[in-house]
Each structure stands twice: as structure tokens, then as C-alpha cells.
Amino acid sequence: MSGAEGSSGRGADGIPGSGAPDTVSGREVEALQALHVPTQRIIVIGLALWLVALAATLLVPALHEGDRSWWPWACVAGLVLGSLGLLYVRRGRGNAHDAG
């Protein structure tokens, strides 16, 4: 297109040209560590928030009448899916075996 694209070292698709390093050094690979996240705790907090949202939608009539009649069911779906996720993590399938 223009001469400026060739001088920046990037092609028309935005991918760096041959001037970019092709390999990653061993030091860079060793520095990358997986982030340990308390998965079960995060899921339990999410379930508690869905439970609070369900209580709020059931206690406040304006939140479950008319066009908003589906809101309690969205909270129930969040609770069901979150519970399934918690069971999945606790059973230790896949990469979730050391979650917790």
C-alpha cells in the first residue's frame, strides 16, 4: 500500500516481519508460572451472590412482575449452573484437580 508499512517491519496483515525473534529463550519459559486461583472459593462467592439476587427479586414485587418475570429464573439458573461447576471442580476433573 504505502512505503511506511515496509519500513515499520510489519506486513499488510500487521504481523511482524522477519526481524522479530522466532524462538523463546529457556529463561522466559521458566519465568511463566500458572496463577494459583482459589477456584472453589470464587464459585461459592458467586453462588452466594446469586442467592442474594434471588432473595431480592422474590422479596421486591417490582423485580418479578410484568416484563421482569424471568429475573428469578435467571437467578435459579445461576445457582444450578454454579452448583454444577462447584461439583465439577471438587471432583477434580481436567485442570481443576488442584483447584481449591
pLDDT at 78 over 60: yes
DSSP 38: -
Domain with 92 in it: 36-100
Element (H, E) at 31: helix 26-31
Please check whether residue 25 lies inside any domain of the structure: no
| Residue 75 identity | C
**Which is more confidently placed, 99 or 38?**
38
Q: How far apart are CA 9 and CA 5, in angstroms?
A: 7
Mean pLDDT, range 8-22, rounded to an integer: 61
Please check whether residue 84 lies inside any domain of the structure: yes
- Which of 54, 50, 36 shows the shortest CA–CA distance to 96? 36
Please check whether residue 92 lies inside any domain of the structure: yes
- Number of structural domains (the chain) is 1
pLDDT at 8 over 60: no
Please check whether residue 94 lies inside any domain of the structure: yes
Element (H, E) at 72: helix 71-91
pLDDT for 21: 58
Instruction: Name the pTM for this structure.
Output: 0.61
Model confidence band, residue 84 (pLDDT cutoffs 50, 70, 90): very high
Residue 28, SS3 per DSSP: helix
Among all chains, which residue has been given the C-alpha cell 526481524? 19
User: What would the grid cell of residue 31 be?
Assistant: 519465568
